[in-house]
Structure 1
Amino acid sequence: MSDAYSPVSELNRLKEFDERCGSEYYANGFELVEFGRPSGAETYSEEQEFVDSFLCFARANRSGSDYAFWRVDDREDLAALPVVVFGDEGGICVVASNLRDLFRQLGCDWWQWPSWEAAQFVEPDLDDKPSPRHGDYLEWLKENFGLTPPDNPNELRDVAEAEFGALLESWVDRFYQDE
């Protein structure tokens, strides 16, 4: 039995960084949670196929939205799966095409604002201070993966939405009908 946080090496590296940060944020509202814990999927459907298709790994914001991998297919590399967000007030939306794209989005230090229609990243106000460990996160991102943040995290979200959005919507509709 492994003591690793998850079966995803990239997440395990983030978990090590996260533990060094203590209780200080490095990206607005982002917090790792127990890997694979319920993601809110069961509030949409009790069908086991639906629930098992999502692997939660983080809070997306301070109000309770969750990031999860969506098992869109049978690929073994979980880090290559699309990342979705379950909004705390509803909605399931594609956020990133894969984990590294989410890591880049987190590098912008913007708020995640999911809704039934979309999962927008919202730029903080000019008077908002950056997350206390944000600079450390940017260094970690560059050192560990050679990555930098995009100018706007919604650009990566738009790419993921174009690739997976309609597929996710039709897949969810198989299990959940809004009444």
Structure 2
Amino acid sequence: MDITYSPVTELNLLKDLQDRIGYENFADGFGLTKYGDISGLVAGWSGDPEFTDLLIPFAQATGGGSFYALWKLDDRADLATLPVVVFGDEGGQHVVARDLRELFQLLGFDTEITVDWERAYYYRDEDEPHSDGHDEYAAWLDQHFGLPVAVDPDVVLAAAQAELGQRFTDWVRPFLP
């Protein structure tokens, strides 16, 4: 396992998979990026340390430049249990998963997330082919975490939004341009 990528075991396992089967090759538009690189936050949102110190960017969410980050809403030691937020390349920021494992299930839906100011969502046509590494990713998710891929991503997103959406919106508001 690549322990040099991050201090998060789950992300290191995913990095190993990505190194084997390729960037954007198991979940459409997704790829792990430099862990903790805040340049996108600073460029598009805020360079305020009160903002950047509580977010850990770790992955591209879309080919257009949206990205995922962990939100350090408290001082928990297990970073994999932190909520996952998305920042859209054309604006908008939302909680998408209550933890990394939920995000991993969403990635298994195998389509880019759509992010706008009002919401974030996943949509794929029934006849849209899966990424080349999708089956290997689904097997990886089951093997390492005993989880299935999300069949209905709206359920996962709704649960995350219900629990943490307003709290994130209230927290991020003072930092928005």
Q: TM-score by structure 2 length?
A: 0.93
- The amino acid across from 1:32 in the alignment is L
Helix, strand or coil at the partner of 1:40: helix
Name 1:67's counterpart in structure 2: 68
- The amino acid across from 2:18 in the alignment is D
Deviation per residue, 1:90-114 (Å, 9 max, x gap):
1111110000000011111122001
Name 1:22's counterpart in structure 2: 22
Alignment partners' CA distance in 2, 1:153 and 1:126 = 14
Aligned pairs, number:
175
Alignment partners' CA distance in 2, 1:114 and 1:170 = 18
Q: 2:173 matched to 1:173?
A: yes
Helix, strand or coil at the partner of 1:45: coil
Helix, strand or coil at the partner of 2:175: coil
Alignment partners' CA distance in 2, 1:114 and 1:23 = 21
Identical columns (%): 45
4+ residue runs over 3 A deviation = none
Q: Shift of residue 23 of structure 1? A: 4.5
Name 1:54's counterpart in structure 2: 55
Gaps of at least 5 residues in structure 1 are none
Q: Shift of residue 3 of structure 1? A: 5.0
Q: Shift of residue 47 of structure 1? A: 1.3
Deviation per residue, 1:54-113 (Å, 9 max, x gap):
101111111110000011111111110000000000111111000000001111112200
Deviation per residue, 1:112-170 (Å, 9 max, x gap):
001111111112x2442210100000011111111102321121011000111100111
Contact 1:39-1:56 at 8 Å conserved across structures: no
User: What is the alpha-carbon root mean square deviation over aligned residues?
Assistant: 1.6
Q: 2:98 matched to 1:97?
A: yes
Q: 2:133 matched to 1:133?
A: yes
Q: 2:162 matched to 1:159?
A: no
Alignment partners' CA distance in 2, 1:129 and 1:172 = 36
